[in-house]
Amino acid sequence: MGNALRFLYGNCCKPTTQEYGYGYGVPTYTDGLSALVHDIYHFETTSQVPEGLGRHVVSSKKAQANWYKKLAEAWKAAKPPPRTPDEAARLVILTLKNHLKADVEGLLAYYGLPSPQALVQTSELLPPSNSHPPQGVKFELQTLPVDAKAVADGDTVTVYVNTVDPREAANLPRDVKLAATQRAKARAVRDYVKADALQKKIVDAGYRVLTGPNNEDILARKYRIRLR
């Protein structure tokens, strides 16, 4: 991570004598930001992820290690690095945007960082008030890669938007979010009948669980757009 992270860790991120507190496996540091910095530094030196994290997320420790590797790289590239919990949450959300939403939210909750919904409510991830789309553009969707087969008849196209996107997260129905989490757990124990039933519930609500580039689950909202 370099001298900057080591300096930050050494001066403001030293753990207290009680490593885990609050009764939920959350490190007892001054705030979630310093706890995250500590754990990124710890991962870089030991390749170990926090023990208590597994109670907040659904993916394996191998997957968790991949998150911390990505976060370490993103933190190093950030100029300047996050200095507030909101900025740290934003970095986590953007870095892990292609990962399972339940994992991203679980990681944020573990460190006591703002959720995507909270960031939207405080306008942390919204464009500046003086930011306007080009003339004639009414909506802008940050979609997942579009398959050419999605343009079925030349007049419409099917696209999907990751629900980690703060604006989608703010409108994600609770039952859909729960179904996605339960589906991931069902697939983990090879209960495919239950997983398929939950997938149908998700699809019927206008969402879909897609497979990302790293073979991870992506809960996405479906949009059908007319091209003309």
32 and 117 share a domain? yes
The number of domains in the chain is: 2
Any domain includes 141: no
- Based on the fold, state whether residues 190 and 115 are members of the same structural domain: no
Q: Domain check: are 98 and 177 in the same one?
A: no
Q: For residue 212, is it within any domain?
A: yes
Quick one: 152 and 116 in the same domain? no
Kindly state whether residues 18 and 69 are assigned to the same domain: yes
pLDDT band at 64 (very low <50, low <70, confident <90, very high): very high
- Residue 210 CA, distance from chain mean position: 15
Residues 212 and 105 in one domain: no
More confident residue, 174 or 7: 174
Regarding whether 117 and 202 lie in a shared domain, the answer is no
DSSP letters of the chain? --HHHHHHHHHH----SSSEETTTTEE-SSSHHHHHHHHHHHHHHH----GGGGGT-SS-HHHHHHHHHHHHHHHHH-SSPP-SHHHHHHHHHHHTTTS-HHHHHHHHHHTTPPPHHHHHHTTTTSPPTT--PPTT------PPPPPGGG--SSSEEEEEEETTSHHHHHT--HHHHHHHHHHHHHHHTT-HHHHHHHHHHHHHTTEEEEE-TTS-EEEEEEEEEE--
Check whether residue 112 and residue 155 sit in a common domain: no
**Least confident piece of the model among 5-14, 21-30, 123-132, 143-152:** 21-30
Is 192 part of a structural domain of the chain?
yes
* Residue 207, domain extent: 148-226
Which of 121, 139, 158 lies at the terminal end of a domain, its last residue? 121
pTM attached to this predicted model: 0.46
Closest CA relative to residue 100, chosen from 146, 50, 63, 54: 63
Query: Average pLDDT of 90-115?
Result: 88
